[in-house]
Amino acid sequence: MTRTETAEPQGRDAHQGIRPMRAEDIEECLGVFYAAQDELHTRNGQQPQPRNPEAIRRLLNHLLAADPPLVRVASAEGSEVATGVSAFIAALSRQQFWFLSFLFVHPEQQGRGLGRRLLESVLPGTADDEAGAEAHEDQVGGEAEEDQVDGELGVRGVRATCVDALQPVSTGLYARYGLLPRVPLYALTGDLRRDALRQLPVEVDAEPFEATIERAGHAALTAAVTDIDRQLLGYERGIDHRLWRAEKRQGVLYRARGSGPSLGYGYAQASGRVGPIAALDGSLTVGILADLVRRVTPVGGWQIIVPGVCAGAMVALLRAGLRVDGSPGLFCSTGPSIDFERYLPAGFAVL
């Protein structure tokens, strides 16, 4: 999720230089992230959120490795060393889906247009993104097809982000570039009664990824998950699945009993985080949730992100004991994209 501002740059802050992020910048970026988050919650009369720097550090390292042209910092007065980082941005690009994962400006630097400048430096179709587009070709292989170029933003496809609903200024900034609020995403947390969730139908088999690999090979698992992603998200994202596996999330493939087709997949982690969950048949989502929460014993409470349009999962989880934690995130995009009636995201930074 993102925290930024819209005013024009002024004074010495107009001279802050934007450059590619380096690994040694990440610790300073964490400082910017938590300073901005703390200021936001204090201003709105809320308690600061618990800190989990390792999770943010892991996400930034993932984005830096996967999409380096889309990960940048603004350093004081154009500094080329890893000091004085006052803002940072990190985005990802998966075929024709571009997603802004992080955009944070230190509270002392907000209101000077720095967030807007960072956004324009990586957003497809803006004047400053040429180097990023060329480097992205190197990441995904090949060149963009001619018919991908179209419209005001320059590249046909979807641009999207998640923004805290408490952030009308940020929401307005993204709307200026066509990223309009589409779907609320609620963080549900706490303890739940596992037996309160409807079980999977007997016609559906739940097979851990390891069992699928042993039965049919890694290529078969990859093909099944990729096909589901294409249908529900519109793009492939093997690199993100590798992130979730590296995080020790348990992956499960759901198939029609016997040798039937794949119906969905889901992940659960010992930390209590559940997701992403993808179900080709939306009526299976609650059953998949019920299966996943039986596979791990969370260290703390459960953490599940549920789109507001996924009514069955929302009602079932609230009745099972979870609660809405904080303000929702708003999924903002330039057009229709992810089928959130059948998809529960992994998080707000990497869906």
d(CA 271, CA 304): 11
Residue 294, CA distances (Å) to 61, 287, 302, 314, 317 in order: 31, 11, 12, 18, 14
On the 0-12 / 13-18 / 19+ scale of CB atoms within 10 A, 129 is: buried
DSSP assignment letter at 142? S
Here the tokens at position 6 are 């819209």
- Determine the Cα–Cα distance for residues 289 and 276; give it in Å rounded to an integer: 10
Contact (Cβ atoms closer than 8 angstroms) between residue 99 and residue 30 = no
Contact (Cβ atoms closer than 8 angstroms) between residue 233 and residue 333: no
Q: Which residue ranges form the domains of the chain, and what is each CATH number?
A: 2-178 (3.40.630.30), 187-326 (3.40.630.90)
In Å, what is the CA distance from 335 to each residue of 156, 177, 180, 197, 267?
Answer: 10, 12, 8, 33, 27
Q: What is the dihedral angle through the alpha carbons of 25, 28, 30, 33, rounded to the nearest 10 degrees?
A: -110
- Select from 124, 106, 132 the least CA-distant residue to 160: 124
Q: Which helix (H) or strand (E) holds 1?
A: none
Q: Count Cβ atoms below 10 Å from residue 46 Cβ, excluding itself.
A: 12
Say which amino acid occupies 235: Y
Select from 346, 4, 343, 6 the least CA-distant residue to 164. 4
- CA torsion 288-291-297-301 (nearest 10°) is 40
The pLDDT of residue 116 is 92
**pTM score, two decimals?**
0.86
8 A C-beta contact, residue 169 and residue 5: yes
Q: Tell me, what amino acid is at 108?
A: E
Walk along the chain (351 residues) and give the pLDDT tens digit of each residue. Answer: 654 443 333 333 344 589 999 999 999 999 999 999 888 877 777 667 778 889 999 999 999 999 999 999 997 654 444 458 999 999 999 999 999 999 999 998 888 889 999 999 999 987 454 444 444 433 333 333 323 333 333 345 999 999 999 889 899 999 999 999 999 999 999 999 999 999 999 999 999 999 999 999 999 999 999 999 999 999 999 999 999 999 999 999 999 998 899 999 999 999 999 999 999 999 999 999 999 999 999 988 999 999 999 999 999 999 999 999 989 999 999 999 999 999 999 999 999
Return the pLDDT at 83: 53
DSSP assignment, residue 269?
A: -
